Structure 1
Amino acid sequence: MITAPARSILFVPGDRPERFDKARASGADLVVIDLEDAVLPERKAAAREVIHDALAGLSDPRFVVRVNSLDTEWHAEDVRALAGLSGVAGLMLPKTERAGDLSALQAAARGKPLHALVETVAGVLNLAQLVTAPGLVRLSFGTVDFQADAGIDGDAAELDAIRTQMVLHSRAAGLDAPVDGVSTDLSDDAALARDTDHARRFGFGGKLCVHPRQVAVVNAAFLPSDADVAWAQRVIAAIDGAFGAVAVDGKLIDKPVVDRAKRLVAMHRRYATVD
């Protein structure tokens, strides 16, 4: 099971069980089996049974299930049937808009960690309250649906103000760094790497993926570069036992710089054990 916050979060349709193990073997840190958008209404009940049978016997969970939203006829049965399975590492709630949404889910989730998919204007406006919900471990940004709801055309600089809010509210609440939305162009790895690096620089810790080919690019983009790790190691070595002002590469270092260096080294070690 992944103990570091997941970088790559790969969606797989809940009615395609032949893809579950392939998704797990893709290198994705976490796999979201989707009962919502990826499954047609007439197939949702059957998909729920498929997921139950596939995950009931697992002892090393890497799967989160995106259940249907609270206002649907399928939500309650999704949670009842799947929350207690050993192979379910958590539940993701789509269209999360308020802390009460998660409180209602948490009461039935049997202690499973909760992931909130924020994809509406109401969800963003309620972030300060939403992040206080019991059981919540992480926010994910549903950029495509949010653009449609907000009437915003573009998912880069157009959404950066929202990204900042999600990072700050997550940080204040002690949640894992949030997860950025999908990049829909499956053929452009360079654009995906730029999108992921953009999210990382804004303080995000992961990215949603819609195809296995995206996983390796996303994982690599969240790793500190060799140059950054080497710099961080020089900083840590320089302060070991030092008194007074210390310079590294000709620049004075202070506590914030040292803290950043320690975070980089810790991240490098953490994900090296995962990869």
Structure 2
Amino acid sequence: MSPPVQHACSFLFVPADRPEQLPKALASGADMVIADWEDAVAPAHKASARQALAGAVAQLAPAQRARLLVRINAEGTPWFRDDLAALALLVGQGCAGAMVPKAEGASTLVAVAHTAGSGAALLPLVESVAGYDALPALAGAPQVARLAFGHLDFQADAGMDCQAGADGHGDEGDEHELLPVRLALVLASRRARIAPPLDGVTVDLQGSTRLARDARRARRMGFGGKLCIHPSQVAPLHAAFDPDEAAVAQAWRVLQALHAAGGGAVALDGRMIDGPVLRQAQQTLARHELACARAAGHPVAGAGATLA
């Protein structure tokens, strides 16, 4: 499975029929880029979008291809089979894999994996009640690296009306109604021992307040990253997920205190610390390692920490 996909925090969508945007997206600081053959491309342009992406990928360096995913069209659409054939060629050239929209059963993922090859990482996008019901099967399907939450489509499918609320104040826009669904994605990922899931997009592009709030909620709930629709969202997303200096220093203190005590439990700053606290400290340092690798200009694949 592709290490960049497992460890990445930021996933930036780019329309596949706009190949000139691909190098800019890869240079944006996003950990992964998703070339979109689905929602971003009009039906009349699906075929030309496949050709445009193939031409653009041919110009990329191997390290850039390893950071590139493709969102294919959903099974049952007229474009699904042709997408799979084109995807297999891109994976053969070193692209990371595919985001699979409207995922509602393992059979779809098995078909994608079979055609794309064993090197393709798959990210099922849960966008419906049927997808929610199938979470264990989706998380456990072959080559699935992460789950992702398409919360806007999910609301429409379930008949929900979570307010957008972009002002950052009060409860409006916090999407409390979706908390059980988000938690289900986190728990299904953990049970399947795959990397933490990705939260959905923030459609508000007027400043970073809403994005930062959404990202902090995702981090608190156990998500490992988030989908982005604009390069300006990448930096505030990383700021929300990457530990600050105080958190890193405290994590090191926890590790040192438990090491000095020879394991077990020990008091630190008037608080009892033991195994669960140690694991939280290790996760903090793992996220810090990834942040340092990113800041140094190295791909997230270079970080050896495991966040799952």
Q: TM-score range by the shorter chain?
A: over 0.9
Distance 1:119 1:204 in 2: 16
Q: What is the identity percentage for the equivalent residue pairs of Structure 1 and Structure 2?
A: 49
CA distance in 1, matches of 2:207, 2:177: 21
Which of 126, 132, 136 does residue 140 from structure 2 map onto? Answer: 132
Q: 1:251 to 1:259 in 2, by over 3 A?
A: same
1:146 has 2:166 as partner: no
Q: What residue number does 1:218 align with?
A: 237
How far residue 4 of structure 1 moved from its aligned partner, in angstroms, is 5.7
Corresponding residue number in structure 2 for 1:80? 85
CA distance in 1, matches of 2:77, 2:70: 16
CA RMSD of aligned residues (A): 1.5
Please name the residue that 1:22 is paired with: 24
Q: Is 1:251 aligned to 2:271, yes or no?
A: yes
| Separation of aligned partners in 2, 1:44 and 1:106 | 21
- The Cα of 1:87 is off from its aligned counterpart by 4.1
Match for residue 68 of structure 1?
73
> What per-residue deviation string (whole Å, max 9, x for no partner) do you get for residues 49-92 of structure 1?
01111113541121100011111111111121232322421111
Question: What SS is found at the alignment partner of 1:240?
Answer: helix
The equivalent residue for 1:109 is 116
Mean Cα deviation higher: 84-93 or 206-215? 84-93
TM-score, scaled to structure 2: 0.86
Counterparts of 1:249 and 1:258, CA distance in 2: 15
SS across alignment from 1:247: strand
**Aligned partner of 1:255: which letter?**
G
User: Which position in structure 2 is the counterpart of 1:12?
Assistant: 14
* Corresponding position of 1:272: 292
Alignment partners' CA distance in 2, 1:265 and 1:126: 33
| Pairwise CA distance, 1:188 | 3.0
Does 2:34 match 1:32? Answer: yes
CA distance in 2, matches of 1:87, 1:212: 23
Judge conservation of contact 1:55–1:87 (CA < 8 Å) in 2.
no
Q: 1:260 aligns with which of 245, 264, 280?
A: 280
Contact 2:251 2:281 in 1 (8 A): yes
Compared CA separation, residues 144 and 34, structure 1 to 2 (3 A): same
Aligned partner of 1:178 in structure 2 is 197
Which amino acid in structure 2 is aligned with residue 12 of structure 1? Answer: V
Deviation beyond 3 Å, 4+ runs, structure 1: 1-4
- The separation in 2 between residues aligned to 1:137 and 1:65, in whole angstroms, is 14
Q: What is the match of residue 168 of structure 2?
A: none
**Residue identity matched to 1:164:** L
One-letter amino acid of the structure 1 residue matched with residue 77 of structure 2: T
| Deviation (angstroms), 1:151 | 0.9
Which secondary structure does the structure 2 equivalent of 1:53 belong to? Answer: helix
Distance change in 2, residues 1:131/1:166 (3 Å): same
Contact 2:10 / 2:227 at 8 angstroms: preserved in 1? yes
Moved more, 260-269 or 22-31: 260-269
Aligned pair partner of 2:181 in 153, 162, 178: 162
TM-score, normalised via structure 1 length:
0.96
Superposed displacement of residue 110, structure 1:
1.3
1:96 Cα deviation from its structure 2 partner: 0.3
Q: Which amino acid aligns with 2:115?
A: A
Q: Deviations over 1:216-268 (max 9, x none)?
A: 11111111122211111111111223246521111121111111112211221
Deviates more, 1:134-143 or 1:245-254: 245-254
Partner AA of 2:189 in structure 1: S
- Structure 2 unaligned runs (5+)? 163-173, 296-308
Paired residues of 1:197 and 1:221 also in contact (CA < 8 A): yes
Q: Secondary structure at the match of 1:158?
A: helix
Matched, 1:227 2:227: no
